[in-house]
A and B are shown apart, each in its own frame.
Chain A
Amino acid sequence: MSLWEYANPVKFMRLSGRLLPFLLGLTGLCLGAGILWGFFGTPDDYKQGSTVKIIFIHVPAATVAVSAWFMMLVTSLVWLIRRHHVSALAAKAAAPIGMTMTLIALGTGAIWGKPMWGTYWAWDPRLTSFLILFVFYLGYIALWNAIEDSDTAADLTSILCMVGSVFAFMSRYAVNFWNQGLHQSASIAVTEKQHVDSSYIYPLFLCFAGFFLLFVTLVLIRTRTEIRLRRAAALQARNTNA
């Protein structure tokens, strides 16, 4: 059995329909447990006080915001190379979710920044690259809505997605390679010393799992919606002609 079989809309609808109830349950469990544990069960930071609790939303949202763009890049490349409609629709479905996550990361970052840095915003390279990513999300969604022919829209948005990947990459790694500015370095790193105390790590991992599961669940639901809308439009055209 090949993975490409699920590029068939009928098979995709069948599989995603079976997976969604489990994903919904698991998302609720991880997100609920992570947020509750983080909010109620962790101590205040000696320097940042209770504002450290914002980490349980800010960091997972920022990670999903960047990952969503990379997922869109992969599905856009699949569309450009193999012309599977489901992959183009999955990219379209992921964009509003990625944009919302970017907005949450920017908003919580600004709220957190005011008491810690003394300002809501600074033209720090890390913050600015994230703002540019947000603008790319807006542009991507606007482009999909501006073009009537869906194949042309998928082609052009795929190219925009490739261009935007530069900024998604910068947003992801700016915290590592830009040392100037207000934003701290990456909170969690696989190879380096952790910058987050161990009492925050487990609820943070649960929140990561919850945010990623929420992303996958919403992408599946939105892709199913796009497939249904496309099928309905095709039937409408056929019924009108008949």
Chain B
Amino acid sequence: MTEKETNAVEIDGLTRVFPPSRKSGEPRKALQDLRFSVKVGELFGILGPNGGGKTTLFRILSTALSPSQGRALLFGIDVAENPREVRRRIGVVFQNPSLDKKLTLRENLLHQGHLYGLSGKDLTQRIRSLLQRLGIESRAEDRVEHLSGGLQRRGEIAKGLLHGPELLLMDEPSTGLDPGARLDLWRYLQELKKENVTILVTTHLMEEAEHCDRLAILHRGTCVALGEPVKLKEQIGGDVILAQTREPEKLCSLIEEKFHTKPTVVDGTLRLERRQGHEFVPQLVEAFPGLIDAITVGKPTLEDVFIHQTGHRFWWQEPATGQKR
């Protein structure tokens, strides 16, 4: 039990089923028997393609949605049983803007503070220091509709942090940010981490997931990989070789015959995981002259981890009517 208390997030057999839509007629399992935990002070990423279940998980953790089965505990408190206690301790940054565009940044933060029972001097001081830290104090009196996307996003973060939450939940926080602003955001998250704030971020961007201490990769509502980004990539044996060819099936069986290793075909490209990939490439090319149009060798990326686990590409289109939410 003591271990549970040290975890910021504890997810145990979490399942969420949505009632059947009129189109498909079948209930949709958005999350299936999910289990993992997040330690206090961790920067934890939920990586997955759109429709993988990230948003559903985010909504359950932020108490906006209740689980169908299983439990989600935040600091040992059940999200479904005691949402109000959970709400006090979490800060939530939504993917869609939640700032009132007709109000100024400061007005938005004042309202936010009031909702969390803050008021008076304490509140104005918190707002000032937060705006300073995020570098948006000079724009505090501007209406949100007049701020750029990057500044609005900082405003959203300020909103999420105002009451000093122990856990910050962020759904696709870099949506609509240019690369520079994105970098700033991650730098800021690293800084927050130093103050022992636990951060849980959902993202569909590989390069963002790299910044996280640990990752859970979601695919069709299940967790297909869990661990540190570096370790996840290490799980793949050696290098990843990709071969372009017009006849993937034929080449595949030829390789299997000659080298006793079975490549996978992903979107018409042959894919092999192999140690010392650079030594294998010349052998391959010489063995099948004319069959290979192009060949690359590289260190595994998180996308390779995803392909390794699921057998298809990250941006693969779900054939079913994959409605979000």
**Same assembly:** no
B interface, CB within 8 angstroms of A: none
